[in-house]
């Protein structure tokens, strides 16, 4: 295989990995406290919500197999954003009508998007609750990056695997299966690295913890580069 296609593979995997790792920082998760309406955000773990959105994106991206790379990435991004958007909206339905609370952020006293004040709507003794608009938009951005990143990694590995001599003697479906499981692996490596960097919970881009994102991106870039080298070892081409 030509050197240029190798370079493109590495660029796509690293760019995809950075998108995944960076995207996780945007997703508003409050972990266990959010499930008790004690903290703002969606009531689950960082890596898990990112995985749910990213893997939905991977499924929609893969249904575009054979199209250009930007379409695969776009389909991944749209699938992930739809999953994240609907999930956060329904979560707010549960918070508002099931628990009877107003979505309120604790990290921003005024919502930077709607300009609504947050503090009076916070239950005393809690760190906010629900998914206010700023967190919602942040989550959509996170899903956009995560889904597009997953789509890019899938596209790169799939097109590389289809052209590889390694898979010439085996079943034609092996390329898609291999690309999928490798993308899932790279997705989890990056999303867990990012969630280690966040340290559990984050509200979105307005959270002070968001300032840690350069470290998270560096970590994702290094890990994606390492993974890309092993993908080359896996499928050959030098």
Partner 1 sequence: MDPVTLGVVALMGAAATIAGAAEDLESDIGSQSNPNSQVQLAPQMGHLHRMINKAASGEPVSYGVWCGTAGAIAALAISAGIIPVVAIAMGSTVAAFVHAIYTVTSHLGRIVGQSQFEQPLFMDVLTQSLGPIAAHGFIASFGIVGMSYLMTLPLDGLGHPFPLPLLAMLWGITIGAIGSSTGDVHYGSESEYQKFEYGGGTPVAIQGDIVTKAPTGAKNSIDVGNFCAKYGGPLTGFCFGLIVFVSFWITLVFGTVPGQIVGIVIIVLLILGNMYLEKFARTKFGPYEE
Partner 2 sequence: MAESNLLNQNNLLILGIVGGLIGIYLSGLSTIGGLISCLGGICAIVWGADAIRRVASYGLGTGVPSIGYMSLGIATVGSIAGLTAVLAFPALGGLAIAAPILGLIFTMIIGACMGLVAVKIIGMKIPIMVRCTVEIAGAASLSILAFSSAVAGGFAAADILNYVVAPGFIALFYIMNCMAIQHPYNACLGPNEEQTRTLKCAASTAFLAMTITGIIALSHAGVVPAILILIVGLCGWYVSFKAFLKASYEAAASVKWTGLWPKVEE
- Summarize as ranges the residues that interact with partner 2 (CB under 8 A): 45-47, 164-167, 169-171, 173-174, 177-178, 180-182, 184-189, 192-193, 195-197, 199-200, 215-216, 218-219, 222-223, 226-227, 230-231, 233-238
Tell me which of 5, 6, 65, 196 binds partner 1, using CB under 8 A: 65
Q: How far apart are CA 188 and CA 192, in angstroms?
A: 6
Query: Which residues, at least 6 apart from 177, have a Cβ–Cβ distance to it below 8 Å?
Result: none
Is residue 173 a contact point for partner 1 (CB under 8 A)?
Answer: yes
Find the shortest distance in angstroms from Cβ 42 to partner 2. Answer: 15
Comparison of 60 and 92: residue with beta carbon closer to partner 2:
60
Task: Report how far apart, in Å, the C-alpha atoms of 23 and of each of 109, 141, 238 are.
Answer: 24, 7, 32
With beta carbons less than 8 A apart as the criterion, state whether 107 and 208 touch. yes
Residue 154 Cα to chain centre, angstroms:
14
151 binds, among partner 1, partner 2, none (CB under 5 to 8 A by kind): none
What's 202's DSSP letter?
B
164 binds, among partner 1, partner 2, none (CB under 5 to 8 A by kind): partner 2
Of the candidates 130, 141, 146, 129, the one whose C-alpha atom is nearest the C-alpha of residue 188 is: 146
Number of residues that bind partner 1 (CB under 8 A): 77
- β-bridge partners, 127: 39
| Site pattern 116..155 for partner 1 (x: CB under 8 A) | x---xxxxxxx-xxxxxx--xx--x---------------
DSSP, collapsed to helix, strand or coil, labels residue 198 as: helix
Comparison of 14 and 235: residue with beta carbon closer to partner 1:
235
108 binds, among partner 1, partner 2, none (CB under 5 to 8 A by kind): none
């Amino acid at each position: 295989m030509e050197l240029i296609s190798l370079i493109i593979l590495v660029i796509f995997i690293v760019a995809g990995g950075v998108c995944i790792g960076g995207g996780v920082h945007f997703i508003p998760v409050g972990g266990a406290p959010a499930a008790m309406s004690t903290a703002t955000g969606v009531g689950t773990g960082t890596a898990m919500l990112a995985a749910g959105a990213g893997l939905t994106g991977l499924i929609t991206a893969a249904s575009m197999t054979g199209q250009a790379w930007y379409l695969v990435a776009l389909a991944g991004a749209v699938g992930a954003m739809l999953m994240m958007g609907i999930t956060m909206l329904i979560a707010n339905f549960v918070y508002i009508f099931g628990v009877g609370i107003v979505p309120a952020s604790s990290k921003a006293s005024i919502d930077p998007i709607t300009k609504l004040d947050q503090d009076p709507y916070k239950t005393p003794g809690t760190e906010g609750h629900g998914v206010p608009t700023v967190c919602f938009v942040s989550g959509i951005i996170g899903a956009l990056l995560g889904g597009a990143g997953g789509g890019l990694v899938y596209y790169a590995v799939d097109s590389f695997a289809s052209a590889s001599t390694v898979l010439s003697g085996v079943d034609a479906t092996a390329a898609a299966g291999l690309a999928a499981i490798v993308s899932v692996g790279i997705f989890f490596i990056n999303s867990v690295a990012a969630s280690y960097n966040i340290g559990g919970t984050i509200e979105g881009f307005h959270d002070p913890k968001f300032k840690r994102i350069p470290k998270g991106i560096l970590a994702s870039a290094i890990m994606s580069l390492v993974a890309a080298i092993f993908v080359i070892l896996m499928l050959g081409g030098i």
